[in-house]
Copies of this chain bind each other. A is one copy, B any other.
Amino acid sequence: MAYENYTIKDIAKALNLSPSTVSRALRDSYEISAETKQIVLEYAEKINYRANPIARSLKERKSNSIGIVISEIANTFFSQVIDGIESVAQEKNYQVVISQTNESSERERLNIEYLYSRSTDGLLMTLSSETTDLSYIERLISRGFPIVFFDRVPNQIDAFKVIADNKQGTFDAVQYLIDSGKRRIAHLTGSQRLSITGERLEGYKNALAANGLPFNPDLIKYCEYGGLHLEEIEIAIAELVKENYDAIFISGDKLSTGYLQAMKNNAYLELNTIKIAGFTNSKVVNLFSPTITAVSQPAFEMGKQAAELLIRQIESKYAIEEFETVVLPTSLIKE
């Protein structure tokens, strides 16, 4: 493992200068003569000098890396978010370090503490389905560690947040179902602990109310793990069938595709007339059969804005006092 690189010392020695002069020349300090600068820069270029970022990090107490904590990388929505984050990070010279929780709060905690102790400069995260205890996250934040939340955000914590307009997105989709003549609209959704679950439920209720339809709790089915396990969904469907629903609104990517899979599994062929709408960021949603009306989140944009806020916070000289929550519009892709 011996691929040696040049150091500032090497340059200094070669040019008969002191390391500090070389360092300053490389950083284009005002105290260095144009002449010296040129000599140093030319030589550095010639030997293809690369500053050692680890040494710099140690000195500056800053690693120029940001951590991402999500439930699952191999998920259309999250991978699009990462894409957005990466685009900003690249431009601003930050490294992106990834970790996933698979919806486990235990794993979430380990990942966060690991990323913190590995001196990432800040974190971008979305809560896992299981999470209830946020105290350790609050502690990190109160110690000044920058964390920006996106998608599934904690209400109790004051921080930058970037979310989709879940209420409106849901409203639009449910309205679409109603406009199609449906009346008994089921709602398949994720963990009650998550912010998005509440926001979407609200949009669902609003749409019903706006159209004078009654709200029926029996038509709401929660999947603790957001469809990570297909059985969750199958159980929910079995219960819904008894309720005689004529349409369904689904609150999550995995839940939506999982529901379609379950339909396809033949058991429910008689349900062909049920109209389906749901959140999904699949780019091939128009190929699906049964067809589905999709509520798509601006995932790339969400990652982008979250990363920008995080970097702004990291680079801010003063502790941020006013945190904002960015709300991005969703789009409805009709079947």
Please measure, in the bound complex, the distance between the C-alpha atom of A157 and the C-alpha atom of B275, giving whole angstroms.
54
Report if A20 contacts B (CB, 8 A): no
Measured CB to CB, the closest approach of chain B to A318, in angstroms, equals 10
Report if A21 contacts B (CB, 8 A): no
Query: Which residues of B are found within 8 Å of A1, using beta-carbon distances?
Result: 61-62, 144, 146, 314, 316
Which residues 1-60 of A have a CB within 8 angstroms of B?
A: 1-3, 50-55, 57-58
Measured CB to CB, the closest approach of chain B to A260, in angstroms, equals 5
Query: Which residues of B are found within 8 Å of A55, using beta-carbon distances?
Result: 58
Tell me if A73 and B63 are in contact (CB < 8 A).
Answer: no
Query: Which residues of B are found within 8 Å of A282, using beta-carbon distances?
Result: 284
Query: Which residues of B are found within 8 Å of A76, using beta-carbon distances?
Result: 74, 76
Which residues 183-233 of A have a CB within 8 angstroms of B?
A: none
Find A261's partner among B100, B286, B314 (CB 8 Å cutoff).
Answer: B286
Query: Which residues of B are found within 8 Å of A117, using beta-carbon distances?
Result: 50-51, 53
Query: Which residues of B are found within 8 Å of A92, using beta-carbon distances?
Result: none
Q: Mark A110-148, 1 if CB is under 8 A from B, else 0.
A: 000000111100000000000000000000100111100
Identical subunits present: 2
Report if A308 contacts B (CB, 8 A): no
A contact residues, total (Cβ < 8 Å):
55
Which residues 242-266 of A have a CB within 8 angstroms of B?
A: 257, 260-261, 264
Query: Which residues of B are found within 8 Å of A83, using beta-carbon distances?
Result: 72-74, 100
Query: Which residues of B are found within 8 Å of A272, using beta-carbon distances?
Result: none
Query: Which residues of B are found within 8 Å of A73, using beta-carbon distances?
Result: 79, 82-83, 86
Which residues 64-98 of A have a CB within 8 angstroms of B?
A: 65, 72-76, 79-80, 82-83, 86, 90, 95-98
| Contact sample, A vs B, 30 pairs, CB 8 Å cutoff | A1-B144, A3-B140, A3-B144, A51-B117, A52-B58, A52-B119, A53-B119, A54-B57, A54-B58, A58-B58, A65-B97, A72-B83, A73-B79, A73-B82, A73-B83, A74-B83, A76-B76, A86-B98, A95-B97, A95-B118, A98-B98, A257-B284, A257-B287, A261-B286, A264-B286, A282-B284, A284-B284, A287-B287, A287-B289, A288-B289
Interface set of A (CB-CB < 8 Å, partner B):
1-3, 50-55, 57-58, 61-63, 65, 72-76, 79-80, 82-83, 86, 90, 95-100, 116-119, 140, 143-146, 257, 260-261, 264, 282-284, 286-289, 300, 314, 316
